[in-house]
Structure 1
Amino acid sequence: MLPTRDLIHIFKATTRRNEAISQRKRGQESALEVRVTNDVLKVHGGAPLHGEITVRGAKNLVSKAMVAALLGDTPSRLAEVPRIRDVEVVRGLLELHGVKVIEEGNGLVFDPANVGTAEIDEINVHAGSSRIPILFCGPLLHRLGHAFIPDLGGCHIGDRPIDFHLAALRQFGAIVDKTPQGLHLTAPNGLHGTKFELPYPSVGATEQVLLTAVRAEGVTELRNAAVEPEIIDLICILQKMGAIIKVHTDRVIEIEGVTKLRGYNHRPIPDRLEAASWACAALATQGDITVKGARQVDMMTFLNVFTSVGGAFEVNDSPTDGGIRFWHPGSELRAVALETDVHPGFMTDWQQPLVVALTQARGLSIVHETVYERRFGYTDALNTMGATIQVYRDCLGGTPCRFGRRNFKHSAVIAGPSKLHAADLVIPDLRGGFSHLIAALAAEGTSHVFGVNLINRGYEDFDAKLAALGAHAERA
């Protein structure tokens, strides 16, 4: 990390150079006009958020659990399924492949008795906005002997290549043919256990190996695996289905393949990403928000940082109505230095909403992003609202980083406190979009947030939750 004295000098110089750019951006209304749709939220900011909301099953687990239902010979039941876009996408893809999906209270039932081949055009229509289809490969190869994967969508926050996925599938014995429509996979000799080491502990690639190895012949050893809580919960689901999976130390997972699996009955872990987003909203607006369903064990790293910044929290461990209360205690917030990392590090999806709160902290905060190389694009909009944030190509931290010397602006310095003012905002991606929403709620005046339906990918009923917290916001 650069010495603090040099960092302050560079920061001030860059700030002066970018002031003119920021002024011009405030006048670029024509760029927003092309995005004006009914998908607009009018936010009257400047008031604290107070109240109670509930989080349900984790977005990053629920969709994968739905895919896992393909592997069973009997129906699976998944409770507390959030009503979000990713769930709709996966449900549509499952139904295209013959899985019967039934709503049951707050959950879903999946009957895979009649799994079959889906039309390529229909798959493309359903999968355009999601990266989940790549995880269908293993289950479909086991059930049908072939699979088709379209071009993948998702948030544009980095390259997020599928090379790890394809390399693993090939080692299992899959043959991958690339066509203009997408990827066609076959396994003429079946899938067999293998030894595979990930170059990086990718969550998606770890899920791919798990969903493929459980019914592959023989034993699979995965090294440098991701071990996020959502991964462990997926392992719990697969174990309920009859899989034999051992989680060793040092990111090693061993899977003993079985010939058949049954359905599962599972209640997923709550969404720790959404819980942290609302916690940051409480901090940025000087509010007080209780997030029912949030669990301390899933958020320990976040809670440490939240406390370091100056936030306060209280845990309710009740099994029926437990959760975590987050609030701004009224004292001045403090600047921090942090780095994102794979679990048990500070989640990359936590940094975007936290940065909004850090604009209200006194001093220079430093955030080094080591997971996604293009995750600071959302800060341009915050600067137009009055924040002072500079992004750098340097690795402003001590964690080994894949992006050093690769010309990616993956470190940020935030100077505060800054008085935020209203602006017209265009949502760039899921977490960045929620950060823009938090900024609009914290800012003085009325903001127009364009593209808010993208937030539905990961935040259930956010309009209703805003209303429950006393936010002054309505669809424009």
Structure 2
Amino acid sequence: MLPRLQNRVPPPAFCPLDKHSGAPIARRLEVTLTDDVLVVHGGTPLQGQIRVRGAKNLISKAMVAALLGETPSRLFDVPRIRDVEVVRGLLELHGVKVTDGADDGELVMDPTNVESASTDEINVHAGSSRIPILFCGPLLHRLGRAFIPDLGGCHIGPRPIDFHIQALREFGAVVDKAPEGMHLSAPNGLHGAKLELPYPSVGATEQVLLTAVRAEGTTELRNAAIEPEIMDLICVLQKMGGIITVHTDRVIEIQGVPKLHGYAHKPIPDRIEAASWAAAALATKGEIEVLGARQADMMTFLNVFRSIGGEFEVTDDRVGRPGVTGVEGGIKFWHPGGDLQPVALETDVHPGFMTDWQQPLVVALTQARGLSIMHETVYEQRLGYTDALNQMGATIQVYRDCLGGTPCRFGRRNFKHSAVIAGPSKLHAADLVIPDLRAGFAHLIAALAAEGTSRVYGVDLINRGYEDFENKLAALGAHVERLS
């Protein structure tokens, strides 16, 4: 074990970007060498088996949906991640009784006694999650009032809540701004509305679904997000008694109902975590079987993974093992040897290549022979993490131009949102500071693939979306340890 060091030093200059100006911020603050640091001895291929549970991007929204019911809800396969803890705390603040069920990963949420929470209590969670805004519709239905604190989340570009607020107003909410946040009321109840998103935002689509399902009348949402997690949330709401129709061309119609009951639901698996481990297998020249991963949700990623030169094998439940039943399926990912191939990619809304897949995959692309292109079209400031990869020996150049097949909404707006990755590059160890959740896992993969010993600061941020990742690393043969 490394010796405990008490002195304070400035962290390495791999800082997150200000969400408005793009300038480096917060991580220039001093940290102790003993706080939240993982020592990574790189250069060892990851090999073994791990399991993913329910999707982070669905679980928290399904927990919020429990507020809408008049009877308890049961959610299964819930990962032990920080976002779940935050939403659980917010539910409990509002009088929802949340208990662990009989099965591992089961949550029982009883909304019988929903009540208002004080702004001070809610503000305790301000800065730790962007979930509070999704409480508005359910709380307006249940209590006639709601409060939105200052919102947190990863600094990967502005994610304005303007449409959330405008949509709530269209439903009939009254919004009063105050220094501590926004107070909402619905003196005449909430009513259906016709809405169209300027961009198929996942968060805005969730807001409309959670509000419209109990609003009086019919709501029509155009240009809606249709990600698998959105479809799973619709399944949850339908189980509760909702009437929701998904039409062609991103149109969702919701017929409001006067009351809903609880649900019992096993969520789709986390396709982002599964892809992250796949990228780790490729970058470290290893082999990782991800139990629980589902092919249908990852087809776009799997096509890219194979185009690069990675191999994978899909095993469905109860098949592939003669004479054995009850075996959980998954996907095994591995590097078959030889050179990886460069690719040109654009992130996009579903069914395109997911923005949360790009950071881990870029680390693997540093090992491909030739020039790869990554054009980020979802968040305009999501390539700042590449500075740290360059410090480790990668050759990545970022550009303001749209380097994809078509111009995107960030073109000519002074955002560096395209990257060219030249490889293969020999990565070497470095001291890293995690800027946000997905970039943080990408930095961790780079440290695992690099030669030498890296120190990764701020690793607790990874717990926001990756359950028990340190024990999973140990199960895969990684040589990591907490600095203590």
Partner of 1:228: 227
Deviation for aligned residue 1:63? 0.2
Aligned to 1:444: 451
Is contact 1:89-1:127 (8 Å) kept?
no
Which residue of the partner structure matches residue 160 of structure 1?
159
The answer to whether 1:35 aligns with 2:60 is: no
Of 388, 392, 395, the match for 1:381: 388
Higher helix fraction (1 or 2): 1
1:126 alignment partner, SS class: coil
1:420 matched to 2:427? The reply is yes
What is the CA distance between 1:35 and its match in structure 2? 2.9
Q: Classify the secondary structure of the residue corresponding to 1:334.
A: coil
Q: In structure 2, what is the equivalent of residue 355 of structure 1? A: 362
Q: Distance in 2 between matches of 1:108 and 1:400?
A: 44
Aligned to 1:401: 408
How far has the Cα of 1:34 moved from its partner? 1.6
CA separation in 2, counterparts of 1:289 and 1:151? 40
Q: Take 1:122 and 1:466, find their aligned partners in 2: how far apart are those partners?
A: 36
The 3-state SS of whatever aligns with 1:361 is coil
Indicate the SS of the match to 1:425.
strand
Instruction: Tell me the residue number matched to 2:95.
Output: 98
- 2:3 is aligned to none
Matched, 1:113 2:112: yes
Q: Within 5 Å, give how 1:263-342 maps onto structure 2.
A: 263-318=262-317, 320-342=327-349
Cα distance in 2 for partners of 1:47, 1:404 equals 40
SS at match of 2:219: strand
Partners of 1:300 and 1:257 in 2: how far apart? Answer: 34
> Given that residues 35 and 426 in structure 1 are in contact (C-alpha distance below 8 angstroms), is that contact kept between their aligned partners in structure 2?
no
The equivalent residue for 1:131 is 130
Distance in 2, matches of 1:33 and 1:226, equals 37
**Structure 2 equivalent of residue 70 of structure 1:** 67
Secondary structure of residue in 2 paired with 1:299: helix
SS at the partner of 2:39? strand
5 Å matches for 1:78-97? 78-97=75-94
Match of 2:351 in 1: 344
Q: How many angstroms apart in 2 are the aligned matches of 1:190 and 1:261?
A: 16
Are 1:237 and 1:264, in contact at CA under 8 Å, matched by a contact in 2? Answer: yes
Contact 1:339 1:399 in 2 (8 A): no
> What's the CA shift string for 1:416-464, capped at 9, x where partnerless?
0000000000000000000000000000000000000000000000010
> Is 1:50–2:57 an aligned residue pair?
no
Note if contact 1:35-1:451 (Cα within 8 Å) is conserved in structure 2: no
8 Å contact from structure 1 (residues 98, 115) kept in 2: yes
Q: Deviation of residue 234 (structure 1)?
A: 0.1
Instruction: Tell me which amino acid in the other structure corresponds to 1:187.
Output: A
Taking the TM superposition and a 5 Å limit, the aligned residue runs for 1:158-237 are 158-237=157-236
User: Are the structure 2 counterparts of residues 400 and 251 from structure 1 closer, same or farther at C-alpha, using a change threshold of 3 Å?
Assistant: farther
Give the whole-Å Cα distance in 1 for the aligned partners of 2:148 and 2:388: 35
Following superposition, which runs of at least 4 residues in structure 1 exceed 3 angstroms of deviation? none
Q: Distance in 2 between matches of 1:377 and 1:159?
A: 14
Question: Deviation at 1:119?
Answer: 1.0
TM-score, normalised to structure 2, is 0.92
* Aligned position for 2:261: 262
Q: CA deviation at 1:164?
A: 1.2
Distance, in Å, in 1 between the alignment partners of 2:115 and 2:406 is 46
Counterpart position of 1:20:
none
Instruction: For structure 2, list consecutive stretches of 5 or more residues without a partner in the other structure.
Output: 1-11, 15-26, 319-326
CA distance in 2 between partners of 1:438 and 1:25 (Å): 19
Q: Which residue of 1 aligns with 2:143?
A: 144
Check conservation: 2:385, 2:435, Cα contact below 8 A. yes
Query: Contact conserved, 1:395 with 1:411, CA < 8 A, in 2?
Result: yes
Are the structure 2 counterparts of residues 222 and 25 from structure 1 closer, same or farther at C-alpha, using a change threshold of 3 Å? closer
Structure 1 distance, partners of 2:432, 2:28, is: 8
**Secondary structure at 2:189 match in 1:** coil
For residue 34 of structure 1, what is the amino acid of its counterpart? E
Q: Secondary structure at the match of 2:129?
A: coil
- What is the letter of the counterpart of residue 38 of structure 2? L
- 8 Å CA contact retained: 2:430, 2:454: yes
Classify the secondary structure of the residue corresponding to 1:102: strand
Alpha-carbon contact 2:309-2:339 (below 8 Å) kept: yes
Corresponding residue SS for 1:473:
strand
Please give the per-residue CA displacement for 1:107-146, whole angstroms capped at 9, x wherever unaligned.
1000000000001111111243100000000000000000
Q: Once superposed, what is the RMSD of the aligned Cα atoms?
A: 1.2
**Which shows bigger deviation, 317-326 or 256-265?**
317-326
Number of residue-to-residue matches in the alignment: 449
Aligned to 2:56: 59
Unaligned segments of structure 1, at least 5 residues: 1-23
